[in-house]
Structure 1
Amino acid sequence: MSVVAELFHVTKELYELLHQPAGKEQRDETIEALQRLLDERDLLIQKLQPPYSEEEQELGMQIVSLNEEIYEKIQELKRQIQFDLKSIKQKKIANRNYMNPYQPLSLDGMFYDKKR
């Protein structure tokens, strides 16, 4: 099997992994599989050397089209993770304020009257 064909199979596997619905509970496993496939794909890309046959060029075009969709799905996954981290941070702040409502407040913005 040529390097281009192996690269196509790994790219296709990556595409299918990203199109499977994954809940928050399975996100860590999905990210680990994603990282493994990206590393494998990186090694295959480094092994690529021209000249390419017509069949390999056709596979290359399919790889490029899959790459665009893979990129969009990875960006979507990144946004979901960022949103979850932001909501966790907000919950943490709300919990801290609930547990200690009389904590010293910030003095920024206070006005002191200096009349004599």
Structure 2
Amino acid sequence: MSVVSELYSVTKELYELLEQPTRKEKRDETIEAIQRLLSQRDVLIQQLQPPYSEEEQELGMQMVSLNEAIGEKLQQLKQQIQQDLKALKQKKMANQNYMNPYEPLAIDGMFYDKKR
């Protein structure tokens, strides 16, 4: 199996993994699988050596389109994680304010009277 076809199969596997909806409970496992596949792709990309046959060039064109879709899916996953972190932070702050409502009072500073 040539390096290009191996790279295509890993890219296709990554694309299929990202196409599946990720549940919050399984997100860590999904991220680990994504990282594993990305590292495999990185190794294979470094092993690429021209010249390429017509079949390999066709696979390359398909990989380019898959790569664009993978980039979009990774951005969506990142945004989901950021939204969850933001919601968790807001929930934590609301819980702290409920438990101790007088703590978040901010004191701007003291006023010093120069005449005294």
Q: Could you state the TM-score of these two structures normalised by the residue count of structure 1?
A: 0.92
Question: Is the partner of 1:26 in helix, strand or coil?
Answer: helix
1:49 correspondence with 2:36? no
Structure-2 residue corresponding to 1:18 = 18
- For structure 2, the residue ranges without an aligned partner over 5 or more in a row are none
Distance in structure 2 (CA, Å) of the matches to 1:103 and 1:24: 32
Partner of 1:61: 61
How far the C-alpha of 1:107 sits from its partner, in A, is: 2.0
Q: Which runs of 5+ in 1 are unaligned?
A: none
- More divergent stretch after superposition (6-15 vs 18-27): 18-27
For the residues of structure 1 that align with 2:19 and 2:80, how far apart are their CA atoms? 15
- Looking at structure 2, the residues matched to 44 and 103 of structure 1 have their Cα atoms a distance apart, in angstroms, of 55
What is the root-mean-square deviation in Å for CA atoms of aligned residues?
1.7
How far apart are the structure 2 equivalents of 1:4 and 1:49? 9
Written as runs of structure 1 = structure 2, the 5 A alignment for 1:73-84 is 73-84=73-84
Task: State the one-letter code of the partner of 2:102.
Answer: Y
The share of aligned pairs that are identical, in percent, is 73
C-alpha separation in 1, matches of 2:58 and 2:104: 66
Q: Following superposition, which runs of at least 4 residues in structure 1 exceed 6 angstroms of deviation?
A: none
